[in-house]
Amino acid sequence: MDENQCPLSYKKQSKEPDGRFAADWPQKRAAIIRRASLIALFGNFALAAAKIIAGSMAGSLAVIGDGLDTSVDVLIALTQLFIAGVTARPADADHPWGHGRAETVGTAIISFLLFFAGIQLITNAIEDLTGKTEHGMPQPVAIVVTLVSIAGKLLLALNQHQMGKKSGSRLLAANAKNMAADIVISLGVLAGLLCSKLFNAGRIDSVVAILIGFWVIRTAVGIFAGVNAELMDGGALKEQYHAVFEAVHSIPEAGNPHRTRIRQIAGFLDIDIDIEVDGQLTVRAAHSIATQVENAIRARLENVFDIMVHVEPAGEISNMENEAYGLSEKIVQEYESEHGKRP
C-alpha cells in the first residue's frame, strides 16, 4: 500500500458523503487494529510454542532461536492492542490533535525490535561460525515445524497487510513487513537445516543467518525512515502540495497560496494554508471563499483529517520570501527543478 494514499475501503469508511472526516472512524479503525492484533497475538503464540518445543526435542538451536524471535512478535501484538486503545481516545485538552501519534511511536518500536533482532541474529551466527562446537544433524521434526511456521507466518502476514489496507494503519503495515521478515528467517532456517543434512555441514545455517540478519536490518531501517518523517512533520509528497495549489486556483476569488504545510498523523493529513482574497470583501464573503478552498482540497486529497485556511488581504504580504515555515508554489517549483519531482 502506498503510505500516502488510501485504499478504496479506507476512503469509504473514513469519510462522510460530503467528504468530511467521519467522527466515528477513529473508533472503527481502532477496532480493526485490535482485531488484527488479537489474531497476531494468538497465531504467534502458537507458532512460538511449537518452534521452541520442537527445537528442544530435535536439538536444533536454529529452530529454538526462530521460536524466540516469534516470541518477540507476541510482545509486538500486545503493544498493538495497547496502542489501538490509545488511538481510539478522542481529542482532549492535552492532545488537541487526538492520539494518533501513538501509532507512529508503536511503529517506531517495531522498527527498533526488528533492528536489534537482526543484530542479534548476525552476532549469534558469527559466534557460531567462530566457535569450536561441533554441530549435530537436526532431527526431521525441526524441518516439519519450520515448514508449518512458514505457512503460518504467511497467513499472518497477509492478514496484517489486508487489515492495514482496510484501516490505513502504518502500524499494521509495519507488522506485516515484520512478519514477512520472519518468513525469510524461517526460510533461512529451513535452508540451513536441509543443507546441513545434504552436505553434512552443520555450520551452513550460520552463514545463511548472517545474510538474513542484514535483510532484517534493512527492513527495520526502511520502516523507521517512514515513521521518522512523520514524527518530524515531514514526508508529504510534492504531488500533495500541487493538489492543494490546484485546489486554490480552482476558486477564482482565491489566490497566492503560500505558507502551506502538510503533515501526517497516523495516516491522515493535517493541512494549513494561507490564501489571498480581495481586501474589500466582508468577513462572511472571505469565509465563504475559504470554505470553497477547503472543499476543493478535500475533493483532490482523500485522507484529510483537518484543513486550516488563513485568509489575507491581497497584496499586503511585504516579504513572503522570508517566511520561516511553509511552502509556496515558487518554493516547490524551485525544489523540483533542483532535486526532481519527488522529495
If you compute the radius of gyration of the chain from its CA atoms, what whole number of angstroms results?
A: 25
Q: What pLDDT is recorded for position 122? A: 81
CB 327 within 8 A of CB 229: no
Reported pTM? 0.61
Q: Domains (ranges, CATH) in the chain?
A: 8-231 (1.20.1510.10), 238-339 (3.30.70.1350)
* Residue with grid cell 511585504, as numbered in its chain: 318
The span from the CA of 206 to the CA of 25, in Å, is 47
The predicted pLDDT at position 227 comes to 76
- Among the residues of 131-280, which ranges form H helices? 140-167, 170-199, 204-231, 238-249
Q: Quote the pLDDT of residue 18.
A: 46
Q: How does DSSP assign 228-271, residue by residue?
A: HHHHTT----HHHHHHHHHHHHTSTT-EEEEEEEEEEETTEEEE
**What is the mean pLDDT of each successive set of 10 residues along the chain, which is 343 residues long?**
38 48 66 87 90 77 73 81 76 72 77 81 77 58 83 91 82 82 78 71 66 77 77 70 91 89 79 91 93 91 84 72 66 70 49
CA–CA distance, 173 with 157 (Å, rounded to integer)? 9
Residue from 238, 222, 234, 259 nearest 340 by CA: 238
Specify whether the CB–CB gap between 15 and 21 falls below 8 A.
yes
Q: Which of 34, 152, 17 is nearest to 83 (CA)?
A: 34
